[in-house]
Structure 1
């Protein structure tokens, strides 16, 4: 039999093409017409797999959350689990920053998003956190991680030293921040994550009880920079 002239579609192929388009041009660039053109098919072909554009967006978002490692909960001390989850969570979102505004709405009905929330909440409650506090910690981490992935602090400063001059004497090196964007942004995130966990540890000791010492061999912050 002759091969079909129109490329065969699958959910996975649609998701991959939509993710690539969003990564390259942002959320506003995604439409079913544009996506169909990128895939070399007619628009109605997409509706055999997704009923609406929002369903495609949800699938892209969930494919990114599926990259986040939550296996640490239930196997490591909650502090180390939270730390490693935070690093994995940010890494996934920082690779796909244009989808973050959609992800920030919450997991909705997305399976990977719900599985992540379930693992984090369950791990924190099993570690002794009251259910309400476990919910607060999950929300706090989502705010912190998504906020860090929405933009770059370092790239917010232009590379023209004349912008700062004598008017902003404490910013005389600010024009160099953009060239160190990765180390600045990752360093700030790790510092914030460590401070957050330290603060939660003190809250745990005040409200739940003594904390066991962390196991030897815990990675240092510099391992992630």
Structure 2
């Protein structure tokens, strides 16, 4: 029997094509017609693998979350080092696919990689001595921080036209220079925020142990 001229359609192939489309054009670019054209198949054949567009977008988001390293949560006592490494891996995954980030606002849902992520973080914190209620709060706090930092560029949001800031904004005399240093500023801001959060969490855990 002759081999097919194109790879057989699969859930993995559909999700990969959808993610490439989202990366290039955003979440709104995904449609059955567009995706079928990208894959060279008939539109209805997609529904044999993913029943709805919402299911497809969930799978796309979950594929990105599958890129996050969870190996640091081994149950050891170094919860700070684990959170620090995980936060950087999580941000790197979102930075590679920034147009997926808005879809994360719906929460974990039934996404397998998302649930594995939550399970690893919670389990690692509890094993390291955090009370279960506090571990839930820490997980939520870290998620807010990481996803928030991935929604857009602070430095890149400032126009590079010096005239914009003249007159009404006396403290922004050099704001037009920020965009040229976008990556440096955004990454250093993330690192400063991460350190501040972890320092604060160390103090919080110490206070809990005193009570």
Q: Matched residues in 2 for 1:98 and 1:18: separation?
A: 12
Q: Matched residues in 2 for 1:6 and 1:204: separation?
A: 56
1:221 aligned residue:
none
Q: Structure 1, residues 30-72: CA drift from partner, whole Å, max 9, x if none?
A: 1111111111111011111111111111111111111111111
1:219 aligned residue:
none
2:46 matches 1:46: yes
Gaps of 5+ in 2: none
1:56 aligned residue:
56
2:67 matches 1:67: yes
1:4 Cα deviation after fit: 4.6
Q: Structure 1, residues 166-214: CA drift from partner, whole Å, max 9, x if none?
A: 33222111111111111111110110010000000000111025xxxxx
Q: Matched residues in 2 for 1:76 and 1:180: separation?
A: 37
Q: Secondary structure at the match of 1:116?
A: helix
1:183 aligned residue:
184
1:11 aligned residue:
11
Question: Residues 100 and 168 (structure 1 numbering): CA distance in 2 closer, same or farther, change over 3 Å?
Answer: same
What pairs up with 1:53-202 in 2 under 5 angstroms? 53-73=53-73, 74-75=75-76, 77-202=78-203
Q: Matched residues in 1 for 2:10 and 2:19: separation?
A: 14
Q: Structure 1, residues 107-146: CA drift from partner, whole Å, max 9, x if none?
A: 1111111111111000101111111100000011111111
Residues 64, 93 of structure 2: 8 Å contact kept? yes
Residues 77, 127 of structure 2: 8 Å contact kept? no
Deviation >2 Å, runs of 4+ = 1-8
The count of residues paired between Structure 1 and Structure 2 equals 209
Q: Secondary structure at the match of 1:108?
A: coil
Q: Matched residues in 2 for 1:176 and 1:87: separation?
A: 26
Give the structure-2-normalised TM-score: 0.94
Gaps of 5+ in 1: 210-225
Q: Matched residues in 2 for 1:129 and 1:42: separation?
A: 52
Give the structure-1-normalised TM-score: 0.88
Q: Secondary structure at the match of 1:170?
A: coil
